[in-house]
Structure 1
């Protein structure tokens, strides 16, 4: 069995009702649900939430909400891994064996069914325990700068002061969209950023963290530009 798990608690503070706020015409969580459903990969698309309003909206777009998340897993201290593992264990206990899991964030409006399918194929072909989305840094991290306590500019890696950008290894960061994995690897608590994982590369114009109002506005503009 393959399941998608979308964590979506109701207590967002920086952006109120973040997980169900309308993003370019529909609740932002709907876009993650629709991508998962459209992929036809999953036996169940499950939203883990403590909020009845989120649950109702999630069901209206094709997800299931077979339980309400316990209060102890719904505060600021609850990690995504704990929430994912709680859902895996619930499905094992109430439905059956789970082989693969995709943790899909509720605020990932750029995710597509195609990316979910291609990344799952990559997971199988590479024989790894995990596959997650990444994107490249816009510039070489080896030439990154910081300011010391006196406001002076310094390099993190001064040995690359004269290095050409094209000679440096390209660096990537977590795109914050989805995380495929074997269910037992999630449950064991295996580290994802390791040799046990492969990464699915997403173009930078399809990646935007959404933590502030400015982030939200930028994400909507990128989304609308990509729809033209």
Structure 2
């Protein structure tokens, strides 16, 4: 049995009401809920929030909100892993015993049911792993990164600056969409970014952080282009 946990704290500062702000016609959190439902992988899809307004929207789109998140898990400094553990423990006490849990970000409008299912499939097939989470590749070799130095620039890794792109190892970053794990791994506080986690590689056109108004603008443009393409 599987649990989806969608952390959605109220009080976003850089983008007010971010989790429920309309994005291409729907509240942003709706995309994560709908992808989780469409995957068919979950017995329960729980939105963990401290906001009654977010809770109402989550219920409207088919998620469950069996509790409001306690204050000690609702400030700016609490990560999503403690929030996920809290939801797992709540389920164990009051609802059911999940075997796998997936933390799904509320700010992932490009999330697809296909990749959610792939993450669970890969985790089940590779028993040595405890987590499987979304990543994507950097569009430019990170080994040739620059930094500001005085009024000019300097290479962060001078030994690589003259190398050809194709001679440098491809690098990946967290895509910020989903984090499958065994409930045991979550409860034991195992680290997600580790050798026992497997990457689920997403194409770059399905990944965009939404942390600033500029991110939001770019994400909506990307999403509309993506939908237009899929509609022919």
Shorter-chain TM-score bucket reads over 0.9
Deviation of 1:96 (Å)? 2.4
Equivalent pair of 1:20/1:54 in contact (CA under 8 Å): yes
Summarize deviations over 1:77-103 as a string: whole Å, max 9, x none: 221111111101000111122210000
Q: How many angstroms apart in 1 are the aligned matches of 2:61 and 2:161? A: 52
Deviation of 1:163 (Å)? 1.2
Equivalent pair of 1:105/1:177 in contact (CA under 8 Å): yes
Q: How many angstroms apart in 2 are the aligned matches of 1:169 and 1:126? A: 24
Q: How many angstroms apart in 2 are the aligned matches of 1:2 and 1:151? A: 53
Aligned to 2:118: 118
Correspondence list, 1:103-182, <5 A: 103-127=103-127, 128-148=129-149, 150-182=150-182
Q: How many angstroms apart in 2 are the aligned matches of 1:66 and 1:177? A: 23
Aligned to 2:214: 214
Q: How many angstroms apart in 1 are the aligned matches of 2:120 and 2:22? A: 29
> RMSD of the alignment, in Å?
0.9
Aligned to 1:199: 199
Equivalent pair of 1:123/1:131 in contact (CA under 8 Å): yes
Q: How many angstroms apart in 2 are the aligned matches of 1:136 and 1:151? A: 30
Q: How many angstroms apart in 1 are the aligned matches of 2:220 and 2:152? A: 36
Correspondence list, 1:96-107, <5 A: 96-107=96-107
Deviation of 1:72 (Å)? 1.4
Q: How many residues align?
A: 227
Could you tell me which runs of 5 or more consecutive residues in structure 1 were left unpaired when the two chains were aligned. Answer: none
Summarize deviations over 1:2-60 as a string: whole Å, max 9, x none: 00000001111111110000100010100000000011100000000111111111011
> Could you tell me the TM-score, scaled by structure 1's length?
0.97
More displaced stretch, 158-167 vs 46-55:
158-167
- Deviating above 6 A after TM superposition, structure 1's stretches of 4 or more consecutive aligned residues are none
Q: How many angstroms apart in 2 are the aligned matches of 1:119 and 1:88? A: 19
> Could you tell me the TM-score, scaled by structure 2's length?
0.96
Could you tell me which runs of 5 or more consecutive residues in structure 2 were left unpaired when the two chains were aligned. Answer: none
More displaced stretch, 41-50 vs 160-169:
160-169
Deviation of 1:119 (Å)? 1.4
3-state DSSP of counterpart to 1:214:
helix
Equivalent pair of 1:130/1:198 in contact (CA under 8 Å): yes
